[in-house]
């Protein structure tokens, strides 16, 4: 079955540590997105990529980095510069050129990151 796989489901980060969240899709979608969700808050866009080897900052990119070396994969690194990283992270994808306008986004199951 086609879908988006995020791993791990739960992740614990120590102060000053970088961690990487995995996002893999087999939907043949060109566009991929990373969102952060805090309790009682909506989805805030961190980074997005519409094509391999290209990505753009979203509204809250500071303290995060991404890469898009393969169409299927869009990993997110939470760096030590992100001072409040505890949140629920969601990866999504959409069809090329659509920006989600015709079919919406397909979401992964999310990664819950906690600072310990």
Compare residues 71 and 89 and give the one whose CB is closer to another protein.
89
Answer for which of 11, 45, 61, 115 binds another protein (CB under 8 A) is: 45
User: Which parts of the chain are beta strand (E)?
Assistant: 4-7, 10-13, 19-25, 31-37, 43-51, 54-57, 64-66, 76-78, 87-94, 106-107, 111-115
Q: Could you give the string, one character per residue 1-40, with x where binding to another protein holds by CB under 8 A and - elsewhere?
A: ------------------------------x-x-x----x
Residue 109 and residue 6 in contact, taking contact as beta carbons nearer than 8 Å = yes
Residues 80-109 that bind another protein (CB under 8 A): 90, 94, 99-109
Please tell me whether residue 55 binds another protein under the rule CB under 8 A: no
Compare residues 59 and 69 and give the one whose CB is closer to another protein.
59
Q: Name every residue whose Cβ is closer than 8 Å to that of residue 115 and which is 6 or more positions away in sequence.
A: 12, 13, 14, 15, 85, 86
Answer for which of 23, 34, 48, 95 binds another protein (CB under 8 A) is: 48
């Amino acid at each position: 079955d086609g879908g988006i796989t995020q791993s791990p489901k739960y992740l614990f980060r120590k102060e000053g540590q970088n961690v990487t969240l995995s996002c893999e899709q087999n939907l043949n979608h060109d566009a991929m997105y990373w969102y952060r969700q805090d309790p009682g808050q909506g989805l805030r866009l961190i980074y997005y990529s519409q094509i391999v080897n290209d990505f753009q900052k979203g509204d809250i990119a500071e303290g995060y980095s991404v890469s898009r070396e393969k169409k299927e994969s869009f990993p997110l690194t939470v760096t030590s510069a992100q001072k409040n990283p505890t949140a629920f992270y969601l990866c999504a994808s959409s069809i090329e050129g659509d920006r989600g306008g015709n079919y919406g986004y397909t979401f992964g199951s999310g990664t819950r990151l906690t600072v310990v």
